[in-house]
Amino acid sequence: MERRVTRKADSEGAVPEILRRKSEHVDIVLEGRVAARQITTGFERIRFSHNALPELDLDAVDLSLPFLGRRLKAPLLISSMTGGPLHAHRINATIAEAAGRLGIGFAVGSQRIALEGRGDAGFSRQLRQLAGSIPILANFGAAQLRGWDGAAMAERAIDMIDADAVIIHLNPLQEGVQSGGDRDWSGLFRRIETVVRACPKPVVVKEVGSGLSDDVARRLFDIGVAILDVAGAGGTSWAAVEAERAPTAKARAVAESFRDWGIPTARAVTGVRRACPDATVIASGGIRDGIDAAKAIRLGADIVGQAAGALPAAIQSADALVEHLEILVEQLRIVCFCTGSKDLQALRHARLIEMPL
């Protein structure tokens, strides 16, 4: 049965399009019908060589690492999920609390609504109070740089939540298939460069599910973007999300045809690491569990992000999200144990049965 998006109204009439769209995105992802179908992350093609005599204490495996001047207890980041006001207050607070309890990173969803003055949309310094000393990353879209003073907006986004860095996300495919999406991306590279040069804190650039290629990554690294999130294909397809909310059959057909578009996450990680050996690389896009996380680290990632996989738990409660993430951390720790890797540096050299990427 074809899905029909419900158009909700507020006390002042129709809900502004951007507010409605952001909330619909979360609802659609939660329905679980927007994953890529034919393309995969590529992690299923990789296997670790099992070490039957690891000579390690499992509980002594060290998963910690420095990030943005702070220290993570595990190389995990709860990736950007939502800026929608109907969900964001609760989701952001839940994630901030859970991430703080576990000592992992937290990247908020798009702050566009709040930056454009439509309320705080769940983005306030309360997140820092809940999260404590963990790294928090602010976020807005590259497409907005055409109409904004990017440097000023970056500072506002950071100050709004007391963040340690700001993400500029790249989503040309989503904008291209979205009804009313931002279609003019000319000149954005130089606008990103202006933000990087002026911003008082690190700028992260990430894709949103179609993958960051090695050549684009290198261009960004060369202008000072030291942290790159590949956000590869094989998980949630934002083209499929937009197909679900398309206003016409024609628009739906266009968007649906791009469901399997993009660079698989595993290939994106290897390509970006090869092109930018000195960058901090975040692997996200279809990360299912701690075994996928370990494979991403082995291929060259420093940190692994998960969004859609954590969303159902984030909707429930902080306790549910903590339990979900504890499972992932324990899986990652056992991979280290069963490959004889005492820490993340050793895991990066763990033996593989095959490495076809």
Encode pLDDT of 155-199 as tens digits. Answer: 999 999 999 999 999 999 999 999 899 999 999 999 999 999 999
Topology (CATH) of 21-354: TIM Barrel (3.20.20)
Reduced to 3 states (helix: H, G, I; strand: E, B; else coil), residue 191 is helix
Whole-model pTM? 0.91
What is the rounded distance in angstroms from the CA atom of residue 291 to the CA atom of residue 270?
Answer: 17
* Beta carbons within 8 Å of 291's beta carbon, 6+ residues apart: 43, 331, 332, 335
109 exposure class (CB count in 10 Å sphere: 0-12, 13-18, 19+) = buried
Digit-coded pLDDT (tens) for 123-145: 899 999 999 999 999 999 999 99
Digit-coded pLDDT (tens) for 190-223: 999 999 999 999 999 999 999 999 999 999 999 9
Q: Where are the domains of the chain?
A: 21-354
Q: Looking at residue 14, what is its pLDDT?
A: 40
Q: Looking at residue 11, what is its pLDDT?
A: 34
Digit-coded pLDDT (tens) for 61-103: 999 999 999 999 999 999 987 655 567 788 999 999 999 999 9
Digit-coded pLDDT (tens) for 20-42: 666 676 667 767 677 788 899 99
What is the rounded distance in angstroms from the CA atom of residue 346 to the CA atom of residue 339?
Answer: 9
